[in-house]
A and B are shown apart, each in its own frame.
Chain A
Amino acid sequence: AQSVAQPEDQVNVAEGNPLTVKCTYSVSGNPYLFWYVQYPNRGLQFLLKYITGDNLVKGSYGFEAEFNKSQTSFHLKKPSALVSDSALYFCAVRERGYGQNFVFGPGTRLSVLP
């Protein structure tokens, strides 16, 4: 069965510093991997996804994520954090094949301190 872990409930980072939000997954085969962000009282917004090809994926708002097959990880990164990046971040995985569905991680709350 698919599963997604986000080992940190909360990540704090100073504005201007690089940020990393961690995600590891467990699936059979090669998955599709996604990151979503949720601002307070809003729906989840798509940030980026890994389908195939280059392991470094670039997405919205300057975010990027690196797919590491050997470590089954898909960490979200940004070189310079903004206060406005403070939100709840979800990693999601979807197995390839008919009938497979999204599985979301528990979420990581990112706080960027001014």
Chain B
Amino acid sequence: DSGVTQTPKHLITATGQRVTLRCSPRSGDLSVYWYQQSLDQGLQFLIQYYNGEERAKGNILERFSAQQFPDLHSELNLSSLELGDSALYFCASSVFEGGTGNTIYFGEGSWLTVV
């Protein structure tokens, strides 16, 4: 168990809908990362937060947004969902932000299926 908690584990929703994925980082970790894993795209970095502030942005669509709250948990909001958004969404956390050798630890992921 990495200590990173993600909910829900599985989610099935219809096209056009909006969902929210939730992540609680490991105790003491200030940085949260979101990744998308799909069969054809591999592991894609979406966005990173550090202590409530956005730090880095990757291949995140405009229909997606995220935030990190004062208690350090994070939410990834996916809207106007399309079939192609079906994927495994991972949250990861680390103590510090980029540039150091600290390790990021992954949650078990949230499986999103858009039908």
- B: contact size bracket: 20 to 34
What A residues does B98 contact at CB under 8 A?
A: 94, 97-101
Kindly state whether residue B84 has any CB partner on chain A within 8 Å.
Answer: no
Q: B2, B45, B55, B108: which contacts A102 (Cβ < 8 A)?
A: B45
* A-B contact number at CB 8 A: 60
- The stretch among A13-21, A45-53, A62-70, A76-84 that forms the contact with chain B is A45-53
- The stretch among B60-68, B72-80, B99-107 that forms the contact with chain A is B99-107
Shortest Cβ distance from A43 into B: residue: B106
What A residues does B48 contact at CB under 8 A?
A: 101
Question: B99 touching A97 by the CB < 8 A rule?
Answer: yes
- A: contact size bracket: 20 to 34
Minimum CB–CB distance from A54 to chain B (whole Å) comes to: 14
Shortest Cβ distance from B56 into A: residue: A101
Report Cα–Cα, A103/B56, bound state, in Å.
12
Give 1 or 0 for each of B44-71: 1 = CB within 8 Å of chain A CB.
Answer: 0100100000011010000000000000
Report Cα–Cα, A94/B45, bound state, in Å.
13
Known: A45-B2, A102-B33. A96 touches B99 (CB 8 A): yes
The interface of chain A, by Cβ under 8 A from chain B, is 32, 34, 36, 42-46, 49, 51-52, 90, 94-104, 106-107
